[in-house]
A and B are shown apart, each in its own frame.
Chain A
Amino acid sequence: MSSVLELKNVSFSYTGEKFIEGLSFSIGDAEFVGLLGANGSGKSTILKLLSGILKPDKGEVMLWGKTISSYRNKDRAKLLSYLPQVLDMNVPFRVKELVEMGLYPYDIPPALTVEDAVRMVGLGDKKGSLVTNLSGGERRRAFIAMTLLQGAGILLLDEPLANLDIRYQIEIIRLLKELREDRSISIVMALHDINLAFQFERLILVKEGRILGIGSPDEVLREDYLQEAFDVGIRVHRVKEGAFISY
């Protein structure tokens, strides 16, 4: 599997205090990767480094084999999109207006339309509603629709399932898996819900900006790793249909 996005020996510090040191891993083509860790473990920082929002102090972020900073902003936006965890926008845009912003990097719009994207996240009947009047979950789905419309081959999603009830969590996970299969999209998603982590093809477990474990859910979701990552005793139960945790 070829690497589409890679952190190469990356170090990063916030106001002089070293947070990430010598971090390396790569994301393959059409891979569905979960970035798992407790609050403050560095998931968001890693996603921001991968997206080019944060610049590493040392090391390089490679996008399709070239350093991410060598891309023009618009060209990068066609290859990679990032959805932050906090969506505190207070401007009364309509859902349609917001989703349409996904087309901004393009002079010639890609095949997917605003209507398609809105329908895919289950907001077809709320196209004309003000985003500020939507519930937390609906608002998040509207932003996900915008990200889908952007049509990039790599999606970096920071806790996109936060505020969503279980039905929409499952629907969004299904949608992302479909996108990965139908359009060969690579997805990296930060999460802290261990039960959801079983859904991923590959997991990266992080603590204090370093990798504790990387590999398939079976390899990473071990009780000793989880205990270290979350500082609490966690039991993993493997059953025929999958696995779940208890504590």
Chain B
Amino acid sequence: MKLRMMILVLSAVIVSLVSLLMVPKLINPFAMTGIEKEIVLSIRFPRVIIAALMGMALGASGAVLQGMLRNPLADPYILGLSSGATLMAATGIVSGMVLFGAFTIPVLAFTGAMITGGIIGVMGWRRGGILPERLLLAGIGVGFLFSAVLMLLMSVSTNEGLRRAVLWMFGDLGMADWSLIPYGLAFIVIGLFIALKRAKALNSLMLGDDLCHSLGFSPRKETTLLFIAVSLLTASSVSLGGMVGFIGLLIPHIMRFFIGSDSRILIPASALGGSMLLVVSDLIGRAVLQPVEIPSGIITAMLGAPYFLYLLRRRDVLGT
């Protein structure tokens, strides 16, 4: 197990270095010109870090959510947080809100995702805590409602900024910038900390509420804490670079195949796996059709889905 985790960490570091120094053009780190230094430090480095952070947040929140909702098809976007993020960003832009300059979209997206989290948290609340089934249904309902309002907004508005905001939400690492990283990092660290701290409780939640209670946890309280962790992780990821599909849904299943289902290991492994996949996808997206960049979400799905299907044929990945 330790060896597998070390291999994962090492692979993540190697992939990040390759992305930093080799793509799209090879740069020798020991003999960088002024421009090359600028390219590596101001463009490539923040981009690699943002891809790694987003992948980490999505992988970890997928692992938490699938356990918490006891649903192998759950992904971080199923709760409608991303729809809330997009709608908030779009509404802000249409109403001319530019309070935060270049950060307007990320700040609005984060706020929108967290407000949506609050709404569905309240709707999923019953008898002193969150009920997973109610939360899931509330999330799907709110997600559809917000998507419909967004469509309405798009069909009546001619605002160019709105189009940009919506396109950005489909996943764009191109505007990666150092200034966003500390905020994203802070929320992701808090989300990961809560998720890891409650990993034993998450394991017992997967056995059902009654056994979770019997093992000394309060199922409602634990679900609420884990939901806060998922909301922070997803909102941070969406605000850093929009929505990137596949990672949150399938990385936890792939990691389960490698290291097992114990959340104490699965959460960090999914975080590492997610970050590695997004960094590689961004690297490939920048390299293959230069100067055109392929959005990372397309590459994550094109790389990950066939591999997942291969695993599914080889082995009982979903555990059913």
Contact = CB atoms under 8 A, between A and B. Distances in A.
Interface of A: 48, 51-53, 73-74, 76-78, 80-84, 86-94, 97-98, 101-102, 104-105, 130, 132-133, 143, 147, 150
Interface in B94-144: none
22 contacts: A48-B210, A51-B214, A77-B215, A81-B214, A81-B215, A84-B208, A86-B208, A87-B207, A90-B319, A91-B206, A91-B261, A91-B319, A92-B316, A92-B318, A93-B203, A93-B206, A94-B261, A101-B204, A101-B207, A104-B200, A130-B316, A132-B320
Given A92-B316, A93-B206, 5 more contacts: A94-B261, A97-B203, A101-B207, A104-B204, A104-B215
B140 to A, nearest CB: 20
B270 to A, nearest CB: 14
B215 A102 contact: yes
Contacts of B218: 73
Contact of B320 (A82, A84, A90): A90
B84 interface: no
B210 to A, nearest CB: 4
Contact of B210 (A82, A94, A102): A82
A147 B204 CA distance: 13
Interface in B270-320: 316, 318-320
B262 A77 contact: no
A84 B210 contact: yes
Contacts of A86: 208
Contacts of A147: 214
Interface of B: 67, 70, 72, 200, 203-204, 206-211, 213-218, 256, 260-262, 316, 318-320
Contact of A82 (B67, B200, B206, B214): B214
A82 B260 contact: no
A84 B209 CA distance: 10
The interface residues of chain A, by DSSP majority, are classed as mixed
A130 B315 CA distance: 12
B5 to A, nearest CB: 16
A92 B261 contact: yes
Nearest to B222: A73
A90 to B, nearest CB: 6
B214 A93 contact: no
**Residue of A73, A78, A91, A98 contacting most chain B CB atoms (<10 Å):** A91
Nearest to A55: B127
**Residue of A51, A83, A101 contacting most chain B CB atoms (<10 Å):** A101
Given A48-B210, A90-B319, A104-B204, A77 B216 contact: yes
Contacts of B210: 48, 51, 53, 82, 84
A233 B204 CA distance: 43
